[in-house]
Amino acid sequence: MKTITGAREELMKLEWKDLQELMLACSEGHARMCAASGEDVDPHTTRETMQTRIADMPKEDLAHALAGFAALADMVHDHHPEHGH
């Protein structure tokens, strides 16, 4: 299983644009989850606002923010390899 540090190192090998797309997908998913659970959704979480904010993030910050998700995905894959990558 990857550690957070190992996951961050692997993410740093990706292109900055790929990290931005992953971050946008996670951000949109979080906003949809909040809406589905009845929580108020911040009006600043429009796709365009998220894209602008993410575009301003350095590659290192994106990799750091996504590292926990990557490590969890690796853990799930270790326990359920039939799910693929």
SS3 letters for 16-71?
HHHHHHHHHHHHHHHHHHHHHCCCCCCCCCCHHHHHHHHHCCCHHHHHHHHHHHHH
Give the per-residue pLDDT at 57. Answer: 95
Give the per-residue pLDDT at 59. Answer: 97
Give the per-residue pLDDT at 77. Answer: 62
Give the per-residue pLDDT at 65. Answer: 94
- Where in the chain are the domains? 4-79
pLDDT block averages, 10 residues each, the chain of length 85: 86 96 90 79 78 95 93 73 55
